[in-house]
A and B are shown apart, each in its own frame.
Chain A
């Protein structure tokens, strides 16, 4: 996959992982790892980037005698997710057009 595209998708996946409820780093990796290749190391710059862009906020919760950082989506993060879904609606129509074109071509 294109690096730039993957970078953008990772941002979106992380936001989607905390969309419904706050989550922590390890859990985020486990969840979105099912769909896209990600490691704890790659997650770090994404979280920092999203935090800097005010897409999420961070708070600490005590867990087993240590601190666990939780990430919460902001209104701006939600707006980013909405923008993504809108944009991909367009891309999906293009995808359908492209794939349709090839099948009719093969048939004839």
Chain B
């Protein structure tokens, strides 16, 4: 087969390719036949050494699904071009949005500040409440514990009614202290989780 005939058949056989790919293919095979002829092969041999039509067609459609044909790139395929593409994708806020964000900063910044202050006050109040509760429980416990020996002193002076009243009060104080302690630890647990939830929420807003 002569070169011209081969190329004509190849062109006919590749109708399924986009025109751009088809032309590239013809250019490539033209070059290959010319090279072989320059090396001393006869025209027929230069064509024959390219292989059978089955082999050629198999290679022609080898990565057909992968290469999307006409990619005439505006950006040259250099490192710089690739780098540009990547960095551009990173900042996806349009310019107007950034400007608006800066211009309205007196409003949203003060609102944010206000929210922060309120949260801070809430934390302080919570801590104060806890301290007060703790103080009450502690005083109850101290009164209870101290009142028991006190009641014994009263008993030795011979006043059995006063002894009974003071001992009763002491036991009530100790009982209340234990009850409050249970309540206290329960509330502390609740408060702790509340704080944690609030702060993780804030963390999510700022990250």
Q: Give residues in A with beta carbon < 8 Å to B.
A: 24-26, 39-42, 44-45, 47-49, 52, 54, 57, 64, 66-69, 74-76
Contacts and interface: CB of A to CB of B under 8 A. Distances in A.
A45 B60 contact: yes
B36 A45 contact: no
A26 B77 contact: no
Contacts of B77: 54, 57, 74, 76
A40 B31 CA distance: 10
B67 A76 contact: no
Nearest to A39: B51
B99 interface: no
Contact of B32 (A25, A49, A57, A76): A25
16 contacts: A24-B31, A24-B35, A25-B28, A25-B32, A26-B32, A44-B59, A45-B59, A47-B28, A48-B63, A57-B77, A64-B34, A64-B38, A74-B77, A74-B78, A75-B79, A76-B77
A61 B24 CA distance: 16
A24 B78 CA distance: 20
Contact of B28 (A42, A64, A69, A74): A69
B32 A40 contact: yes
Contacts of B66: 49, 52
Given A41-B59, A66-B30, 19 more contacts: A25-B28, A25-B31, A26-B32, A26-B36, A26-B39, A39-B50, A39-B51, A45-B62, A48-B63, A49-B63, A54-B82, A57-B77, A67-B27, A67-B31, A69-B27, A69-B28, A74-B77, A75-B79, A76-B79
A102 to B, nearest CB: 36
The range of chain B's interface size is: 20 to 34
Contacts of A42: 59
B82 A41 contact: no
B56 interface: yes
Interface in B18-50: 24-25, 27-32, 34-36, 38-39, 49-50
Nearest to B24: A48
A90 to B, nearest CB: 26
A23 to B, nearest CB: 12
Nearest to B80: A75
